[in-house]
Amino acid sequence: MSDNKNGDSTSSNNSYKKYSREVVLAKWEDRFVAWLIDFVIISIMINILFFIFSAHYSFPFWGIYIDGENGVGIRQPYEYIIASSIFFLYWVVLEFLSGQTIGKRVVHIKTTNLFGERANIINIAIEAFGKSFLLPIDIVLGLIFSSKRRQRIFNKVSGTIVIKLKKTEDDENDSIKYIKDY
């Protein structure tokens, strides 16, 4: 028997319990699938915009473009900056509002602060910057200097993590039975 903070002399079954709650970290594979879904969706939108405004079809981040007159060529730096800025805005807005992009909703993961709570806009912006402009460097350095939290470098700098959602909001409403009035 030992005394606890409340002064009772009962044995604490929680004395071996070190943590007050669990946050399940998303697997790298889930994060990649979410990124790939987002990349495809936004790339299609960017390509449509580039086609409309510059009359050629560009592959964002792939370094090439195709147009009717000149064939295949190397992208101009401004296209990279524009495409990366659109990705940046997409990730900042959606991850700040809900913690999830379209890709993250599909695989049931979410960006949060280190406590599994909503991250602030500055932390989200720092995290999204690495993903938008410096992703290869961010991933390689993140894997080299990997931590127990599965963070890329810009996740570490921003104090964010990506978690796996155990339940969706729909799952929480399973205790309510809805009946239609006919």
What is 120-145 written as a DSSP string?
Answer: PHHHHHHHHHHHHH-HHHHHHHHHHT
pTM assigned to the model? 0.70
Phi/psi of residue 167, each to 5°? -130, 150
What confidence score (pLDDT) does residue 2 get? 45
What confidence score (pLDDT) does residue 11 get? 44
What confidence score (pLDDT) does residue 7 get? 46
What confidence score (pLDDT) does residue 103 get? 96
User: CB within 8 A of 49, min separation 6: which ones?
Assistant: 86
Q: Do 83 and 53 touch, CB atoms closer than 8 A?
A: no
What confidence score (pLDDT) does residue 172 get? 56
Lowest-pLDDT range, 30-39, 104-113, 151-160, 172-181?
172-181
**Rounded Cα distance, 140 and 100, in Å:** 23
Q: Residue 142's pLDDT band (boundaries 50, 70, 90)?
A: confident
| 18 pLDDT more than 80 | no
